[in-house]
Amino acid sequence: MPKVGDVIAGKYRLDKVAGEGGMGVVYAATHLVLKQTVAVKVLLPSAATSEAVVERFAREAQAAARIQSEHVARVMDAGSLASGAPFLVMEFLDGCDLEELLQLQGKLPLADVADYLLQALEALAHAHAVGIVHRDLKPANLFLACRPDGSNAIKMLDFGISKAMTSRPEDKVLTGQAVLGSPVYMSPEQLRNAKEIDSRADLWSLGVVTYELLSGAPPFDGDGVGEIFAAILEKDPTPLHELVPSVPKEFSDIVAKCLERKVEDRWPSAAELASAVAKFGTGAHADVVSSCAQVLTRSKMLHQHTPAEVRRVADAIAAAAERARSTSLGTEPLLLANRKPESATVKDGLRTRALGAAWRMPSVRWMGIAAALMVVIGAFAIFFAVRVTRDTTAAPQTTMVSAAEGATPQDPSSDEGEGASGQGDGNAPMLMDLPETPGQKGTAQRSRGGKGQRPQRPKFLNTRE
């Protein structure tokens, strides 16, 4: 075992022993690089030889690292000593757990208990959202920590026997003396088969903790493990409001619903239990209700009703959209052009992200590029066709008008002859834009102003008719 003053992993100096148990020792330590106080938990040599204990230790680190909640003690690092014993580095908590607080104060006020319960429910909501069941909730695993500003916060500890809701082959069910959990706080289904449980087993345990904090004693107890198990499986606890008259019957009924033996009769989720408990607290944690609901709703959308392939491509859409926005044209991919705003609902947001992710698939991307090229080519073809047609139509009109302005009126008797001879010899008149001459202009004016004379048509117009 390391001693006070030792430096482990090259950066954690052990300052003092903060706690000791049957399996490990917790040190208050200093991170030599960050100058930050941390807690270092090291397994005892006797415990480190047990495969089950080492597995538990690793599971605690992995589970806590997956849960992103203010009310779960953060695991910052993990590793092994030179002896091979594993260690965890966690945030250092200053305060006491609820078991110690209960021993110091006895029964706790309802408003305080409701606040503690709400914070624990937020931690559970985040754990359940990532598929983790704690399985060992009790007052000793709910730590009342002091924040830097002097306020208090509940921190959930010890995910060592936590279980993924999706069973794995390596999960073991321990029987006999090695019970997976603390007997007083275990649900009936956990007693029968610790593998076949879901998030409602944690709500049972939290109901037992609440009952004990308000009454000073757990609802199920006995002289030994056998009697405790029998009470959990068969005995109905005394209603809380009968033991503690200051507790309203409505709150007593909330706790009683947590302790229903049939799983389907309990609160279905941490969010619904938090909604029922919120009005009994001080109001400092009223936002927990909406937070729990949002976390669990998003988890349900992503993990229960979305195929795995869609989840995979949906997770990549944020990066794809960001790349599209950063292009030189500042445009998004074709399928993202009508993307909804970020304030859209979770369901609509998921649909939008899935459509956007489809753009990244090679087949869809090449189809989109081919369609874009066809549109561009078609646009250019239409443009040139219209332009050629316009030029072909406009040229004769311009020439005829110009020629008409520059022509000299001829004698009508000579029009027919010259027109006929023009057609007969096959020599069409050359049409040219010629500048006006003084003689031509005067002739045209005299012709138009002559009395009794009809204006003469230019010869080449008669020829074309």
Distance CA 66, CA 64 (A): 5
Please say whether the beta carbons of 342 and 349 come within 8 A.
yes
Please say whether the beta carbons of 133 and 201 come within 8 A.
yes
Identity of residue 113: V
Please say whether the beta carbons of 428 and 419 come within 8 A.
no
Q: What are phi and psi of 22, to 5 degrees?
A: -70, -20
From the centroid of its chain, how far is CA 152?
29
How many residues in total does the chain contain?
465
Q: What is the DSSP letter of 143?
A: E
321's tokens: 């959209």
- Which helix (H) or strand (E) segment holds residue 200: the answer is helix 200-215
23's tokens: 């399996």
Residue 273's contacts (CB-CB under 8 Å, 6 or more residues apart) are: 121, 203, 206, 254, 258, 267
SS3 162: coil
Q: Which of 290, 291, 314 is nearest to 301 (CA)?
A: 314
Please say whether the beta carbons of 138 and 185 come within 8 A.
yes
Other C-beta atoms within 10 Å of 374: how many? Answer: 10
Round the CA-based radius of gyration of the chain to a whole number and report it: 44
Place of tokens 């332009």: 387
Is there a catalytic annotation at residue 112?
A: no
Per DSSP, the residues of 30-98 read EETTTTEEEEEEEE-HHHHT-HHHHHHHHHHHHHHHH---TTBPPEEEEEE-TTS-EEEEEE---EEEH
The active-site residue, picked from 97, 115, 136, 158, is: 136
Active site residues: 136
